[in-house]
Structures are given as C-alpha cells and as structure tokens.
Structure 1
Amino acid sequence: MFQSSNTRRSGRILALPLLLSAMASGCALLPVEQDAPAPTGDRPASEPAAPETDTAPPAGTDSQPETDTDTDTAAGTDTDTETETETRSTEPTEPSLGLHIARSSSAESERRVFLREQGHETLDPGRLGYYMDVLGARLRQELSGQPSAIDHQDSGIRVTLPEGADQARALDTIGRLLDEFGASLVTVIAHGHGMDASDTSSEGTEDDAMAAGRRLENAGVAPERLVLRVFGTTTPAGNLGSEAFSPQIELLIQPLAAS
C-alpha cells in the first residue's frame, strides 16, 4: 500500500515537469487516433454503398418502348394502294395512251378531245379539204404498185390492204407518210375471217390489229393517234387458198380539226 502510493506520487512528480515544458514550448499533446479494427475472417469489411441514381424515365416519355403498329399499318395501306393502282393500270380506258383494242363506240370522238387538250397538231376548218386532198394524192403515189385500195370519202380516206405478204410493207409506207401528216386520227380495223360480222371477241384478230398498230407506230405514228378495232366478216377461211394468212386490214384516216 505504501509502495503503491509512492509510485503514484513519483508519476505525478515526473508528469508535472513534462507538462510545464510542453506549455513553455507552445506544443500540446495531441490525441492519438486509434486505428479501425481489422476485419476478421468471419466478417469481411463492408464496401461503401454505391450512390443512389435516379432511374425514373424523363418527364414526358413513356415507360414502355413504342411499337411499330402504326408503321406496319401504314406499310400495309401503301401496299394495298399500290396493288389497286397496278390493277387499274391494266384496264385501259378511253382515251388511253398506248395501243389497245377499243371497246367504246365513241373512242374516236374521245381521242380527238384528248389530242386537242394535249396540244396536238390540229387544222383550221378551212384547210381540212385541201389537207386531205394532198394526203390522198400522196397515198396513191406512195402505194403505187402495191396491192391496196384508196377510197376518198366525206369522213376521211379509207385504205384497204388485202391479206398477203405485201401488207406489212404497205403499212410501213403508210406509217411514214402519216408521220408527215400529223394532224390526223387513224382507226385501224382488223377483219376476222370465218367470224360473224358482229363478233368482236376473236383473240387472233385482236392480235392482228395490235400487230398492224405496232407496225404503224414503229414507222413514226404516235400511238395516241391510233384507235384499234376488230370486226368479223362472213368470208370463209377456206377460200383464202393458204393456211397462213393475214386478215384484211382497213385504215380510216380522218383529219383532226381545231374545234
């Protein structure tokens, strides 16, 4: 007991000079920071928590991605429209650009209106007679020596080309001349042999009318100036003397008046 008291007294005696010395030098005793306890094997040190982020979608946007329903619907509509347009384009109407067999009895009148609206070459009424007289004279001159019949009528000039190998050559000659006389409308009529006169449904005769029209077009006649028709005739096919023949082709050439 006595020894312990002496020890404490000696400690206080020694601590007093140290305190006085530190105060005199302007230093103070700083507290010692204790180290954090080391992690034990049973409990790993916890990692710092990740900062919270705002995952909410921006204002004004939907939480679900947009679907392509509207796009698919619009695409389907466009496809239907294109299909309908293609279907309509395969059904020629009067007047129609390009060669086709005319079904309407007023095809020539409708074609005249169309050509005038398109600014095609026309004739003043006072020039119609002279124009057709000159055209008739040129046709007789150019077709001289070729099998053909030229009939100058009030409605225009009718040219008849009988069947035979010379028919294509005659069509080429007429086509080049009609290219020069552009103020005219041409009706191409193919007659089918062995058909009733009122029958216009022969596919073979339609092909012949189309072939004659293409021949004229290749020679320079604009297709919008050509009206193709098909008519039957009571002439039997057996009287033609040949299995391979061209039907009789008629051309009705009419002037295109300005009004």
Structure 2
Amino acid sequence: MKRFVGCLALAGAMSLQAGCSTINPYTGEKQTSKAGMGAGIGAVTGALIGIATSDSAKERKERALKGAGIGAVAGGGVGYYMDVQEAKLREKLEGAGVSVTRDGDNIILNMPGNLTFDTDSTTVKSSFRPVLDAVSEVLKEYKSTMIQVAGHTDSTGGDKYNLMLSQQRAQSVANILGGFGVEQVRMDTVGFGETQPIASNGTASGREQNRRVELTLLPYTE
C-alpha cells in the first residue's frame, strides 16, 4: 500500500527530522536532505493529510488519487524529486514574502497573514493571488506532491472564533489553488486557531508572525 514518506507522527506529537540521502540536482553529489528547524513544523506535518489512520480511509484516498491519474514517487527518487521542487519554489517565490523551509522530505511554505488576508477577513487579498498562481504552477508540475493547507491565528480573540477563522482561511487558499488547476484530491485543509504559535503572542511582531497560512508539501510514495 502506498504511503506518505517521512516519519509522520500524530498531530502535535513530534517534529519530522528525516535524514535521507539525496542527489543534489545541481552538483550531482550525494548529500543529506536538509531538515528545517522551527516551532510548529512537526505538529503541522504530523496532522496528516487526507490519508487518515483507518485502512478504509487510506483506501478511499488512494482510489481517489488513482482515479485522478496521480501516481507515487519511487522511494529512491524522493529526495531528488523534492530537491528540484524546492529549488523551483524558491525561484518562483523570491521576493514574494513567503518563506520556504525544508523539513526532511517535506517542504513548508509560510504565508504571513498580513500578505494573505485583511484583518478578520477570510477573502484572500487580490494582491496575493499571483503568488498562489506561482505556487500552483509548481504543484501542477509535481503531481505526486500532497498539500496540507493549514490556517493559524494569534491569541487575540476567543478560541472558537480563532479556530473558525483559521479553518476558513485555509479553505480559501485551497479553493484558489484548486481554481488554478491543483487537484482537490491532493489537498487537505485544517485550522489550528491559536494553538501552534511560532512566536510570542506577547508582542505585536510575534502576533503578526503567528497569523499565517502554511502549505506543507509531502511526497506521495510507494
């Protein structure tokens, strides 16, 4: 049965720290895959994209992917596959305000809230749509990549409101990616509200960092 590569843990349980060997797409040399550090990354990737823990859910997801013509990456080629994808994303997103972090064989795109949404809005800013279009171009080329779209907020406001806001913002981003041609079956949306800060909510700059949408890209493998 096909699976997602990497030591995907239960949500919030542990960080991914894969150390697989890959081939550098530029030098042709063997190297150790880059592992990103930073709060929240392991918890986000650990939330697990659409293939859930039950066998029936896995089978349904795999049938849907197969029906959409989406195949898996051979295990030995995963590192190279993600290396080249990472390089293209860095090129596309240079100067866009979106950070690209490598965590083992996964890639995390951090999209700050001040770029993506107005205050209390769930509508993606029109100025940010070209950035999502650029991301979608890469995702459409690398169809064996699954995408988790996760929304996060700061601690201002009530827990339930923040959770709802984060969920709706994640869905808005996923809808736009889908409109640009990224298959919906490859995407999973989740809202974490204020539960996974990457900075202190005690400062304005920290709260700004916590208001974000993150795309976690995971290879779909045999």
| TM value normalised by structure 2 | 0.58
Contact 2:50–2:61 (Cα < 8 Å) also in 1: no
Amino acid aligned to 1:177? V
Alpha-carbon separation, structure 2, partners of 1:207 and 1:170:
19
Contact 1:193–1:237 (Cα < 8 Å) also in 2: no
User: Which contiguous aligned blocks of 4+ residues in structure 1 show a shift greater than 4 angstroms?
Assistant: 104-107, 198-201, 233-238
**In structure 2, what is the equivalent of residue 79 of structure 1?**
none
Does 1:254 pair with 2:215?
no
Gaps of 5+ in 2: 1-45, 116-126
- Larger relative contact order (Cα-Cα within 8 Å, sequence gap ≥ 6): 2
Alpha-carbon separation, structure 2, partners of 1:124 and 1:156:
15
- After superposition, the Cα gap between the structure-2 partners of 1:249 and 1:256, relative to the gap in structure 1 and judged at 3 Å, is same
Alpha-carbon separation, structure 2, partners of 1:169 and 1:237:
32
**In structure 2, what is the equivalent of residue 109 of structure 1?**
51
**In structure 2, what is the equivalent of residue 132 of structure 1?**
82
Which of 204, 211, 222 matches 1:239?
204
Contact 2:150–2:167 (Cα < 8 Å) also in 1: no
- After superposition, the Cα gap between the structure-2 partners of 1:112 and 1:125, relative to the gap in structure 1 and judged at 3 Å, is farther
Q: Of Structure 1 and Structure 2, which has the larger fraction of its residues in strand?
A: 2
**In structure 2, what is the equivalent of residue 150 of structure 1?**
100
Gaps of 5+ in 1: 1-103, 241-245
Partner SS state of residue 164, structure 1:
helix
CA displacement, residues 207-255 of structure 1 (integer Å, 9 cap, x when unaligned): 1111111111111111111111111255559826xxxxx9401111001
Alpha-carbon separation, structure 1, partners of 2:75 and 2:204:
45
CA displacement, residues 49-98 of structure 1 (integer Å, 9 cap, x when unaligned): xxxxxxxxxxxxxxxxxxxxxxxxxxxxxxxxxxxxxxxxxxxxxxxxxx
Contact 1:194–1:237 (Cα < 8 Å) also in 2: no
CA displacement, residues 7-39 of structure 1 (integer Å, 9 cap, x when unaligned): xxxxxxxxxxxxxxxxxxxxxxxxxxxxxxxxx
Kindly name which structure, 1 or 2, has the bigger radius of gyration based on alpha carbons: 1
| TM value normalised by structure 1 | 0.50
Number of residue-to-residue matches in the alignment = 153
